[in-house]
Structure 1
C-alpha cells in the first residue's frame, strides 16, 4: 500500500506543480542566446536557490576544467526555464523532475529531453520537541503543507513512518487529511502555507517541510526525524533541447555530473540530498 500511495502522491505533485507553474510569469531577465552548441560556452538556467547553487558550486568548476565558460541564469518560476531552453536563450536547465518535464514538453509541443538525474532535496519531518519518530507522543500537533501536491507527499511520509493510514483509493487530485482512516497517535493536523512551515517548527510538535523551503530557511536536512524516500521520477534533472542530446557540450555536462568531483561537492555542500540510483549503485 505504501508503494501505491507514493504513486498517487506523485501524480498529484505533478498536476499541482504544473498548475502553479503555468500561473506564474515572473523570471529573471533572459540571457543572451545560448552558444554551447557551437562554442565552449554554456548558459545554464536554474531556479534560484539550491539548484542554482548546485550549478555554480558543483557543476561549473568541472566544466571550466574542460575549457567551458559557464553562465548561470536564475529563474523564479517553473515555466520560463523550459521556454527559454526551447527558444535557445539558454543551453540547459536544472529545476524539474521528469514527470513535469515530459508533461510540459507534451502540452507545449516543445522538443526537450532529460539528460541525467541529480541529487534532490527531500521533504522531511522536523521537530524541536522529539528526537525520533518513536518519541512522537499521543495528540502531538503536526503542521503540513496546505497545497494539494505537498499535502499528498506529507501524508505519504507520515504513512511511511507508520503514524497514519490513508485510504488506498483516495483521489490523488483531492486527497486531504480527511482521507486518513487511521491516526494511531491522534495527531492534531493543521495545514498551513508551505513557505511558513520552517517557522511552524517553533510552535508545532512536528512540521513537514519541503526541501526547497527547508534549505531556504537554512535548515539542516539531516536534522529531520525522517526524510522522504524519493522515487527516481521525483528527482530533479538536467534538460536540454532534444536536438542537442548528442552534442559534445551535453556529453560533457553528463560526464561532469557523473564524476567523483561532483559527488564530493554534493557531499560537502548539499548534505541530506537524496541521491539518484546511478550514484548510489556505482562502485
Structure 2
C-alpha cells in the first residue's frame, strides 16, 4: 500500500511538470506569434511607403553631377533615381526612345527639336533646367582684334549649334548672317558678309573640341560648356566670346510623350529648379552654368 501511494504521488508530480511545461510553451508560442505579427506589421509598414524609381540619362558633366546633388531631395519625396552617364550626344535619345531610360538631361531645346524631326522621336520637353553659355576660345589668340584674315573657326558637326555660334560671331561683327534667316536656324551658308575671310570647319564631334583647342593653337574653337568644364576651362574667364544668360538654349528634361504627365518626372523638374539646386549650380560652376527657374 505504501509503495502504491508513493507511485501515485510520483505520477501526480510528473503530470504537474508536464502541465507547467505546456503552459510555458503556449506562452512562448503566443509571445512568438505576437512578435511575428509585430515584425510583419513593421515590414508591411515599410512596404507601404512607396518608392518610385526612375532612370535618367545624363552627360557626366555637369548634368550627372547636378542629379547627384538632387538625389537626397528626391529621396525625401519618395523618388529613387538611377543615373546613366554618357560621354556623347547620340545615345541618350536613342536609349530614351528604346525604353532603356525614363528621361534624359543633356540637350538644349533646338537640338531636341532637330532630333525629333530627323529621327522621328516621339518626345516631350518637360522643361528647362539650366543654360550652358556657348564659348569661343583660342589657345594663342587672346583678343578678337588679333583674329587674322583666314583664321579657321572650328565647331561641332551638330547643326543645331551652328546658329548660336554664328550669332556670337555676328555679335562681334566677325560675320553677318542673312537677315531673312532666324539666327537659331542659321548655317554657314547663311553668312552674307565675312570681312576677315574666316574659314569654317564644322566636321568635329563636340566631345573632341577641347583637343582641337589644344592642337590648333591659332584657330578659334567654339566649345560647348560641358566639354569646356571637363577640359578645365572657365567660360567667364577663358572665352573670347561667351553667350549671355538670356540664351534660348536651355538644357531640358526630355521624356517619351507617353510619359509627359508622369508625376515622378515632373517632381524631378521641380527639384532641379529648386532654390537648393539652383544655388548649387551657381556656386559649383562659377557662372559657367546659368539656372533656369521656369
**Does the 8 A contact of 1:221 with 1:271 survive in 2?**
no
Match of 2:153 in 1: 143
Q: 1:124 aligns with which of 128, 135, 140?
A: 135
Q: Distance in 2 between matches of 1:155 and 1:212?
A: 19
Q: 1:49 aligns with which of 44, 61, 71?
A: 61
Q: 2:275 aligns with which of 233, 251, 260?
A: 260
- Indicate how the Cα distance of structure 1 residues 173 and 139 shifts in structure 2: closer, same or farther if over 3 A, else same: closer
Residue aligned with 1:52, SS:
helix
Q: 2:102 aligns with which of 91, 97, 108?
A: 91
Match of 1:219 in 2: 233
Q: Distance in 1 between matches of 2:219 and 2:110?
A: 33
Alignment of 1:229-240 (within 5 A): 229=244, 234-240=249-255
Match of 2:84 in 1: 73
**Does the 8 A contact of 2:153 with 2:200 survive in 1?**
yes
- Indicate how the Cα distance of structure 1 residues 187 and 94 shifts in structure 2: closer, same or farther if over 3 A, else same: same
1:44 positional shift = 1.3
Number of equivalences: 237
Which runs of 5 or more residues in structure 1 are unaligned? Answer: 1-37
Bigger-Rg structure (1/2): 2
Q: Distance in 1 between matches of 2:74 and 2:218?
A: 44
Residue aligned with 1:41, SS:
strand
The reply to whether residue 179 of structure 1 matches residue 191 of structure 2 is yes
Deviates more, 1:89-98 or 1:225-234: 225-234
Q: Distance in 1 between matches of 2:157 and 2:59?
A: 20
Q: TM-score if structure 1 supplies the norm length?
A: 0.66
1:235 positional shift = 1.8
Q: Distance in 2 between matches of 1:107 and 1:196?
A: 24
- Indicate how the Cα distance of structure 1 residues 221 and 198 shifts in structure 2: closer, same or farther if over 3 A, else same: farther
Deviates more, 1:142-151 or 1:152-161: 142-151
Match of 1:241 in 2: 256
Q: Distance in 2 between matches of 1:85 and 1:141?
A: 39
The reply to whether residue 200 of structure 1 matches residue 213 of structure 2 is yes
Q: Distance in 1 between matches of 2:221 and 2:100?
A: 39
Deviations 1:151-188 (A, max 9, x none): 55433211112233234457968625x935242xx365
**Does the 8 A contact of 1:43 with 1:70 survive in 2?**
yes
**Does the 8 A contact of 2:129 with 2:252 survive in 1?**
yes
**Does the 8 A contact of 1:256 with 1:262 survive in 2?**
yes
RMSD of the TM alignment (CA)? 3.6
Residue aligned with 2:218, SS:
coil
Q: Distance in 1 between matches of 2:194 and 2:256?
A: 46
Q: TM-score if structure 2 supplies the norm length?
A: 0.64
- Indicate how the Cα distance of structure 1 residues 100 and 154 shifts in structure 2: closer, same or farther if over 3 A, else same: closer
Residue aligned with 2:269, SS:
helix
More helix by share: 2
- Indicate how the Cα distance of structure 1 residues 173 and 132 shifts in structure 2: closer, same or farther if over 3 A, else same: closer
